[in-house]
Amino acid sequence: MRILKKIFSKSRSLEDGIFFNALEKILGFPPTELEPYRKAFTHRSSNKLDKEGNPMNYERLEFLGDAMLSSVIAGYLFNKAPYGDEGYLTKMRSKIVSREHLNELGKDLNLIQFIESKVPVQHFGDNIHGNIFESLIGAIYLDKGYVFCEKFINSRVIIPYVDISRLEGKVISYKSLVIEWCQKEKRLFHFDIFEDNAIDGQRLFGVRLSIDDKVIAKARATSKKKAEEKAAQRAYFAFQEKINKK
């Protein structure tokens, strides 16, 4: 019996260790407590209850994460767009935290790998990705506080995805921006497209964007055009970051 208990507790901490490592990669910092994150990925179908008998699933954390995301983005936009009035700021924020955008963010981080549910993953609609992206932010707030939420949102949402010009509708295509820049700087560029493994029966396309024979950015999407655009956007921001650091 003792041995069984030992094995059980060992296997549990191994599982915790795997979860911890995977989380750290996504968060960019080590979590302190695992429990809020477990909750962030628990679907209501698992029918779990906490010690007090309250339902334990990600829905409350979604509420919390949504609030934290909204205020972090508000703070960012306030500083970034000193020319924008209240209406402009509200509109820009709702573009950034749109359902579609949150789903994309959750998918890109592959958060669904952590889901605990009695419903098969294929049965979920697209919104599950955005929902658990929000609940993850709620868990970060509980575990580490507001400043870490800000840090996470900055590195996972703002730097890789938020571009005010594009949101304002000024940038139509990152691909054309990158091509323009390469032509001006006399650099050789190449989009290398390959068909990627299917996930849930959905065909995906992968793209590698090389400049001067060096791979600068990779991306996957459901169409060649989308994948190219995504890779170009990543390359664009990677360059911007470099320029800003100089």
Q: How far is the CB of 77 from a second copy (least distance, A)?
A: 8
Using CB under 8 A as the binding rule, the residues of this chain from 98 to 117 that contact a second copy are none
Binding of residue 91 to a second copy (CB under 8 A):
no
Q: Is 127 in the site for a second copy (CB under 8 A)?
A: no
Q: Which listed residue (68, 96, 136, 158) binds a second copy by CB under 8 A?
A: 68
Question: Which of these ranges, 1-9, 62-70, 117-125, 172-180, lies near a second copy under the rule CB under 8 A?
Answer: 62-70
* Marked catalytic residue, from 104, 134, 143, 150: 134
Closer by beta carbon to a second copy, 87 or else 201:
87
Choosing from 23, 27, 43, 62, the residue that interacts with a second copy (CB under 8 A) is 62
Residue 66 is among the residues annotated as catalytic for this protein: yes
Q: Does 54 bind a second copy (CB under 8 A)?
A: yes
CA angle 97–115–24, rounded 5-degree value: 75
134 labelled ligand-binding: yes
Give the contact letters, 177-216, x = binds to a second copy (CB under 8 A), - = no. Answer: ----------------------------------------
Tokens (6 digits) for 2:
């003792």
Dump the DSSP string for the chain: -HHHHHHHHHHHHHHHHHHHHHHHHHHSS--S-SHHHHHHTB-GGG--B-TTS-B-STHHHHHHHHHHHHHHHHHHHHHH-TT--HHHHHHHHHHHT-HHHHHHHHHHTTGGGG-B-SS-GGGS-THHHHHHHHHHHHHHHHHH-HHHHHHHHIIIIIHHH--HHHHTT----HHHHHHHHHHHTT--EEEEEEEEEEETTEEEEEEEEEETTEEEEEEEESSHHHHHHHHHHHHHHHHHHHHHH-
Which is closer to a second copy, CB of 60 or CB of 218?
A: 60
Site residues (vs a second copy, CB under 8 A): 50, 52, 54-55, 59-60, 62-64, 66-68, 70-71, 74-75, 78, 82-86, 89-90, 138, 141-142, 146-147
Catalytic residues: 66, 134
Binding-site residues: 62, 131, 134
